[in-house]
A and B are shown apart, each in its own frame.
Chain A
């Protein structure tokens, strides 16, 4: 008679996909909101990049749709500790939007319909790291998740991926945004667990 219990395979070597420290895996898509969901008529929607010399680059919705888009599949990490893996989006790369923008700025101050703001280094929006996303999972982005379009910067905590994005102001200084002025980290790298000021 063998001494090995049938079916006993020991402890799994891995408890699942690797997550940033302090995060747990979720399969659904929690809605976080700091205010009422703004409704923007599509014929009045616009996205504006303003340089440090006040030069404005504007796109209407039709302009945005006419640009080449990408379909990134990325992991997203919320500072409230949920992570969602393998999310699929469609959006226009910030590299495309910035291609004709002449700037020497180091920082981006992102603003949204409804008044939300957030800040990050301009370098984190470039080199295939960020999109203005308008579809999630093949469907138009739901207003609760930031539709018609939101910023998508998946390598930083998800509060940097501003819902209802309206524009980006390019600056020499790092102006803190909505959560950054209330205790949250100016950069927000989930792998370094930069949740709060001082982390």
Chain B
């Protein structure tokens, strides 16, 4: 069975609400396995109480985002870094 995930481009809209730059064009480094790659290449699970983006190498969580009526919660603990082209 195919896992029901999208690619990281699905993060573009939600992250656009928070950041002035397109974060999906950034390079993230997975805190679990060290794999570096485009945020747009993460595996995104959108059918959940929030968006969960996982490393395409080890499937650990790299980024989570929850949108409440009055706030956005962004958890980046699974990313060592984000390299954002400027």
Pair A80/B49 contact, Cβ less than 8 Å: yes
User: Could you tell me the distance between the alpha carbons of A32 and B61 in the complex, rounded to whole angstroms?
Assistant: 16
Q: List 7 A-B contacts (CB under 8 A).
A: A32-B49, A34-B52, A35-B52, A115-B60, A179-B50, A183-B50, A196-B69
Check B1–A182 contact: CB distance below 8 A: no
14 new A-B pairs (CB below 8 Å) besides A32-B49, A35-B54?
Answer: A31-B4, A32-B47, A32-B48, A33-B47, A33-B48, A34-B61, A36-B59, A37-B3, A79-B49, A179-B49, A179-B66, A196-B66, A196-B68, A196-B69
Produce 1/0 per residue, A141-157, CB < 8 A to B. Answer: 00000000000000000
* Chain B residues with a Cβ under 8 A of chain A: 1, 3-5, 45, 47-50, 52, 54, 59-61, 64-66, 68-69, 71, 73, 75
- Which of B4, B5, B73 meets A182, CB within 8 Å? B73
> When A and B form their complex, which 3 residue pairs have the shortest distance between CB atoms, in order from nearest?
A183-B73, A183-B66, A34-B52
CB distance from B11 to the nearest CB of A (A): 15
Measured between C-beta atoms, what is the minimum distance from A111 to chain B in Å?
Answer: 14
Q: Residues of B contacting A30 with CB < 8 Å? A: 47
Which chain A residue shows the least CB distance to B51? A34
* Contact in complex: A35, B4 (CB < 8 Å): no
Determine the chain A residues whose CB is within 8 A of the CB of B64 once the complex forms. 182
Number of interface residues of A (CB under 8 A): 19
Inter-chain contact A31/B47, CB cutoff 8 Å: yes
Q: Is the CB of B49 within 8 A of A184?
A: yes
Which residues of B lie under 8 Å from residue A36 when comparing CB positions? Answer: 3, 5, 54, 59
Q: Which of A1-54 contact B (CB under 8 A)?
A: 30-37
Cα(A196)–Cα(B50), bound, Å: 12
List residues of chain A with CB within 8 A of the CB of B50: 34, 179, 182-184
The CA of A169 and the CA of B45, in the complex, are separated in Å by 27
For residue B65, which residues in chain A have a CB less than 8 angstroms away from its CB?
182
